Amino acid sequence: MSDDAAGSATAETGLKGAAGDVASFEEDRKGIVRTIQGILHEYPTLIPLIVLVVGTVIFAIAAPGKFLSPLNLSVVLQQVTIVAILGMAQTLVILTAGIDLSVGLIMILASVVMGRTAVAYGVPVWIAFPLGLLAGLACGFLNGLLVTALRLPPFIVTLGTWSIFGALNTFYSNSETIRSQDMEAAAPFLLWLGKLFKLYDIGVFFGLDLPWLRGWVVTYGSVLMIVLAIVLSYILGRTAFGRHVYATGDDPDAARLSGINTNRVLLAVYALAGLICAIAAWVLIGRIGGVSPQAGQTANLDSITAVVIGGTSLFGGRGSIIGTLFGALIVGVFRNGLALSGLALLWQDFAVGVLIIVAVTIDQWIRKISA
Amino acid sequence: MSELTNMSLPTGNAGDIVLEGRGLNKRYGRVVALDNADFNLRRNEILAVIGDNGAGKSTLIKALCGAVIPDSGEIRLDGQPVHFKSPMDARNAGIETVYQNLALSPALSIADNMFLGRELRKPGWTGALFRRLDRTRMAKIARDKLSELGLLTIQNINQSVETLSGGQRQGVAVARAAAFGSRVVIMDEPTAALGVKESRRVLELMLDVKKRGLPIVLISHNMPHVFEVADRIHIHRLGKRIAIINPKEFSMSDAVAIMTGAMKPPVEGATGPTQHYQVGEEASQVQ
């Protein structure tokens, strides 16, 4: 604070003839509420973190012995993996003040391309798998192209492509599912992310006996989720492209005047989101042990839910990948905890709805900050 | 760092012209925004551009900073003809503009904003391979630039711009322009949204920037501010420059009268030394 005073004094020397009664640079009325608002503004990921911790504590009390067991928490982690990865794709798009309603269907389409090309058409998996990734990338690129070249609102574009990708999905899959046994025989690689390993064994591998890791069972898909979160956080926080994503969503005119090619940023973001959806497709195949054109029907809205509860602003320019990871975990923890507490499914939906509304309300409040 | 402190200018006479527009025309349909307009900016001066609403001064400024491409006419920078296709071209040529809306990204930090669109990467493989930003270096340069301009009240270079006051935001935008502008800084209504005290600081800031050898084009409606800091005043009316006056020889009401057409623009050689005072060639035709 003394620094500030000294700084003011230096600056005020230039104010020889100025009137003394005009508004000061100093912020004098800083109540507790403003302070909290300031802290949350600076660290927006705090809210989902707090909600996650509080939720965990509540369910630890409400469902004693059951909720906090390593096995149960492992199940929660497995359940949220796909939504979390899709949520990361969605976060990128929402940071640019857009929205992608087609993420779920890009995922399903990519999983169908991977699975069906490998199993039904007998194409080697080292071709089928990249083909699936490419399909996701192409879908995302199409979204980006429509948003930038035709200047259509992202909501409308992705509502349209959601329907288009759904039709392509039915066309390519022929509405047939691929069973686990066929997949295991033709392309076991595609199932790999669904495989489980015991965390305790990892400790043993390094010659450590870590008893607190006993009971934790994790899929490779969940590991991939965490790796993806780290990579995307790095891109958003530590590269120029990441800064440009925020700037584009925050104020596109200012971004353009600062020399950012906002169309290129948008195109890259939608394409990258499509690619991440294709990675989610790989996780999905592992999780359901095959390919089903009917899988993941709620994934679109679930991904938006994770993003919003994770503190990312729907108005763009604010939010983080880690927040979305927390957001997905919060939904998983509440659903699981409420189920273990013996409440009917409808109350899970009810709770998720309340969380969304509270999250958006808090976001609006934080955004009102200014000096 | 050396590429950023590019403030040394080629030495020349005080009367040297840095930025010049000759016979600029721009039409929007039937509306003539620029009608054979001229413009010149000298070294080490603050040139104010005033004009009534719709006089075409903002089109003139946009043509100079690359936001508008004139239909005809010539723009010269340091004597060389230039053809700006976008604000980026003008920026790369050393003309920085502080827009009225500041063109800052509110959610990003002060340091991020100062380097927005021209971020510095870490030297070595992390920068080359992983495109890692050199945040320490950017924060340091940003802090240096702000303190050079006496903006020490901003303590935390990583606080977001939206937590700053209007004057502080203006300070960040000016510091950015001064840091990267090597030839000209254009400021569009820099005090319009500010209070008395904050306006004062911005005016001080402009004189500081001028002292560092950067000429400034100031677009403003605020006559007291214009008369306080400007070395010459370019008066724009009906799409062209009708006069350049010396603020020491004319009163504010004269300037307003010329600007609105209530007073005939001064004829060359009428008052004062011609050194300070020129007349638009078409002045007589306007009336």
ipTM of the complex as predicted:
0.78
Which of A4, A22, A371 faces B195 most closely, judged by CB atoms? Answer: A22
**Strand (E) or helix (H) holding B227:** helix B223-229
Mean pLDDT by 10 residues, chain A (371 residues): 42 43 46 82 87 92 90 93 97 97 95 93 92 97 96 95 94 90 88 89 85 88 96 95 95 89 96 97 93 85 94 92 96 92 89 90 79 46
Residue A305 Cα distances to A277, A291, B236, angstroms: 16, 25, 55
**What fold, for B17-286?**
Rossmann fold (3.40.50)
What residue of A is the nearest CA neighbor of B166? A371
Grouping H, G, I as helix, E, B as strand and the rest as coil, residue A273 is: helix
Is B54 in the A-facing interface, judged by CB distances under 8 Å?
no
- A 10 A CB-CB count for B272 gives 14
Q: How far apart are CA A250 and CA A246, in angstroms?
A: 6
* CA count, 13 A, side-chain hemisphere, A283: 29
Q: Do A254 and B103 touch (CB under 8 A)?
A: yes
Interval A85-137: pLDDT, tens:
999 999 999 999 999 999 999 999 999 999 999 998 989 999 999 999 999 99
Residue B128: which H helix or E strand, with range? helix B125-130
Q: Looking at the complex, report in whole angstroms how far the Cα of residue A239 sits from the nearest Cα belonging to chain B.
A: 5
For A:13-32, CB contacts with B below 8 A are: 14-15, 18-19, 22-23, 25
Q: Pick from A15, A239, A256, A257 the residue to mutate for testing the B interface (most B CBs within 10 Å).
A: A257
Give the CA-trace dihedral at A251, A252, A256, A257, to 10 degrees: -30
Residues in chain B within 8 Å Cβ distance of A19: 196-197
pLDDT of A297 reads 77
CB B20 within 8 A of CB B41: yes
Report domain extents, chain A. 77-300
DSSP assignment letter at A77: H
Give the span between the Cα atoms of A358 and B36, in whole angstroms. 59
Contacts of B117 in chain A (CB under 8 A): 244, 255, 258-260
Locate the chain B residue with the closest alpha carbon to A370. B163
pLDDT score of B153:
62
Beginning with the edge strand found earlier in the chain, give each strand of the sheet holding B184-188 in spatial order: B95-98, B184-188, B216-219, B46-51, B232-237, B240-245, B278-279
Judge whether A265 is closer than 8 Å to chain B, CB to CB: no
Write down the pLDDT at residue B154. 59
CA atoms within 13 A on the CB side of A134: 7
* Predicted pLDDT of residue A137: 98
Per-residue tens of pLDDT for chain B, all 287 residues = 344 433 333 444 445 889 999 999 999 888 888 999 999 999 889 999 998 888 888 889 889 988 889 999 999 999 889 999 888 888 889 999 998 887 899 889 999 999 998 888 988 888 888 888 988 899 888 888 888 777 766 567 888 888 888 888 888 888 888 888 889 999 988 888 788 888 888 898 899 889 888 999 999 989 999 999 999 999 999 888 988 999 998 889 889 889 888 888 886 544 443 333 344 444 434 33
Residue B234 C-alpha, separation from nearest chain A C-alpha, in angstroms: 26
Residue of B nearest to A253 (CA): B103
- A9 touching B, CB under 8 A? no
